Every structure is written in C-alpha cells, then in structure tokens.
Structure 1
Amino acid sequence: MSDERRSLLAEKTPFPDDLDERLRAQLTFLVEVDQLKIILRQSPLAATDRRENDAEHSWHLAMMVAILAEHSDQPINVGHTIQLVLLHDLVEIYAGDTPLYDSAAGVDQQEREGVAADELFSLLPTDQAQRMRTLWDEFEERRTPEARFAKAMDRLQPLLLNWMARGGTWRTPGVTADDVRARKAVIGDASSALWKAGRRLIDEGEARGWARSAPPRCDE
C-alpha cells in the first residue's frame, strides 16, 4: 500500500460532526464494505445468466453453513463459522478476486490479501479490528474445525454453481477434471460426506463432457 491514503466511500457524504467516534468508525467500515457487491467472481449464477459478485457468494456460504453443518466430520460452532465465511472475502475489495484456476494470479495472493486485511480492518475501532483480523487469519490458516468447514463451503459453493452451469469455470482453457478434483479436495478436510458428493458431481461432469479429461500419458 502506498503512503497516499485511500479515499473512503463514506467521505462522499460525510457523517455529522457530532456523531459518536466509535460509531462513526463502525459505520465508515460498513459503508466501505458495500463495495463487496461490485467485486465480480468467475462463477456463474444458477438463477440467471451472469457472474456472481462477492457479496452474493458470501451470503450463499453463510446459508450453506447453516444448512450443511450437520455433515461436518467434527462438531462446529455454526455462528462462529458463519462469521468466518461472511468476512473472509472482504479483503477482495482492495485486493481483487483471484480466480481459482489462475496460477499466475495466485502467486502473490497471500501478500496482497494480507495488506488489504490490514488496511480494511483498521477502519474499525481497535478491539473490533483485532477481532476481525483474528477471524480472517483463522480462516486462512484452517487450524480449527470451523475454519476447515468454512473453507470447504468456499470450495463447494462454486462447484454447485459450475454443475448447474454444465461446466462453468471447469471449462477454463487448460483446466482438466483432475485439476478440479485437486483444487476441491480441501472439502474432504472438513467433511468426508460432502467431498464424496463433490467428487460424484465432478466425475459426472467429466463423463458428460463438462470438464476435460486429462490426456493419456505416453509411456517412455
């Protein structure tokens, strides 16, 4: 991040001067994250012919946690897990979306998103900024059952959308069904049942020609 301060959305229509300082910081953050609604992802929507945005993705993940938590291999705190999926993509407001199958874009993803997390969460009062950053780090590190399940939802949701689109991003040039399986295998770290279902969809998608089969290897 440069030394020049970023312009904030809330500055377009400043809050009254006599607003409580803590509340002003919280509202400034909430206005700033409205930008999540304009960060487009690669996944197609099931309901209409357009790509989803990050806010829609985050909402869908929260709904999936509420509905699918029973399939976690370990007990999870549903409310805590929902917090993880709601905030994990907020950093893309500043860092941008990194497509799953774009290896080049993923090289500096961790660094870009870490810088964005520091900048975005610092808009909040110190105690909340620290809590939000701790939650974001928890998701990234995947050391807790909740974080592993949150990550599983993050990989399962676009799998469902690609199934509904009869391929979607599975048709990305150079991507094979084996690549999809490798990228989605993290689902199995949280739920053997959901990964079994996910593999079944990928296998069927490959059989139907929605994902490329890897070319046969030639024996030397």
Structure 2
Amino acid sequence: MDKVGRIVEFVLELDRLKAVTRKVRPLGQERYENSAEHSWHLAMLALSMAPYAPPGTDMDRVIHMLLVHDIGEIDTGDTLFFVEAGRVERKAAEEQAASRILSLLPDGQGAPLLDLWREFEAGESREARFAQAMDRAAPVLLNLANDGQSWRENGVRHEQVAGRVGPPVAAGCPALWDHIAGRLDAARDAGWYGMG
C-alpha cells in the first residue's frame, strides 16, 4: 500500500471512534455523545480557555493531545471516569490500542502522536495538565447543563466529582475550577447526583 493509502486507512480507522458511546448526553439530545465528538469538544474548549492557560502553554501541543487522547477507545471502549476497578489494566490496553492505531501511519508519523498520548496520560507537563483539565471539566459542564444526567444515571456522588475532577482541573486551569466548584455544591442541593 502506498503512503497516501496508509494515511487513508488510518483516517478510516479513526472513524470508528464515532461508534464509541460515552455516558453523557449532548445538550438537548436523547442519545449519548461519542468519543470522537468528545475529543472535538475538548479541543474547542481548550482553544476557548487559552487565555486562562498557564503562561507559556503551547496550545498546538494541547490540541494535538486532545485529538489523540481517546483513540485507544476504538479497541477498548469508554469506561466511566469514576470506575476504579481495573484502571491500570484499562490504561495498558488503551496504550496498546493507541500504538496499534498510530502505527498505521507511514514513515513513523504515528510515533510523535503516541508520545503525545503518553504525555497526556502522565500529566506531568504544563500542556498535559491543561489538556487533562479540559478532559475532566467537559463532562462536568455537560452534567451541570443537563441537571446531572450522567451522575444520576450512574450513581455518581458529589464527593466523587469534587474529589476526582477538582484536583486535575484546579491544577491545569484554576479559573475553570473556580467557575465549576460552587456549581457542584448547587447541583448537590438540587439533587443532581446519584445515590451510588
């Protein structure tokens, strides 16, 4: 297969991400969002929040991370963020899947993208922390706009959201966490969390 054909094969493989269903519904929809539209939504959130990124943040790098961070879900599917059991095994399987998918690209084009995937997962660089903040915040923003739809359906408690989402969002984009934090308490008062 020629190089252009390999790129086309890669892009068609990525199309399968549209079939990976998540647990949150898009605003005004009865269906659940898929991982491809989630990745696009995060990229747009990051671009919009760029003025609140830490000084010196390379936004191109952030966008690239957000576009590749969930491609492993083509093979593994999506798991609710709050599920603790099997997390290490899921991440290993997702890395193997990301490696498989990115290796479809010719001439080693996938290697730097896999490095970005790993950087995102490690969460140690300024860009990875900002990207992770976007990834953790977006479902929360949808839940706040959807009266806690996914939290109620999946038994997610206030403490889980504040405890697991708060630290990475506050570390990567403090202004966004400031916006969200008080709303989580109001959502609790409104009964928008599950009984998990």
Q: Above 0.5 in TM-score?
A: yes
Residue identity (%) = 35
Return the offset for 1:66.
0.8
Q: Which residue of 2 aligns with 1:170?
A: 151
The C-alpha deviation readout for 1:76-123, integer Å capped at 9, x for no partner, is 122221111011111100111111122235352111111111211111
Equivalent residue in structure 1 for 2:186, among 197, 204, 211:
204
Unaligned runs of 5+ in 2: none
Judged with a 3 Å threshold, the aligned counterparts in structure 2 of structure 1 residues 171 and 129 are, in CA distance, closer, same or farther, namely: same
Hey, what's the Cα distance between the residues in 2 that align with 1:207 and 1:45?
A: 23
**1:58 lines up with 2:12 in the alignment:** no
Check if 1:90 corresponds to 2:71. Answer: yes
User: What do the CA deviations read for 1:154-210 (whole angstroms, capped 9, x no partner)?
Assistant: 011101110111012222454310111112121011121111112122111011111
Q: Corresponding residue for 1:42? A: 23
Distance 1:172 1:74, change over 3 A: farther
The higher relative CO (CA closer than 8 Å, separation ≥ 6) is in 2
The farther-off stretch of 114-123 and 99-108 is 99-108
Which runs of 5 or more structure 1 residues have no equivalent in the other structure?
Answer: 1-16, 215-220
Deviates more, 1:74-83 or 1:49-58: 74-83
Partner of 2:123: 142
What is the TM-score when the length of structure 2 is the normalising length?
0.92
Contact 1:92 1:116 in 2 (8 A): yes
TM-score with structure 1 length normalisation? 0.83
Runs of 4 or more off by more than 3 Å in structure 1?
none
Residue equivalent to 1:28? 9
Partner of 2:50: 69
Query: Which residue is equivalent to 1:113?
Result: 94
Greater Rg over alpha carbons, structure: 1
CA RMSD of aligned residues (A): 1.8
Structure with more helix by fraction: 2
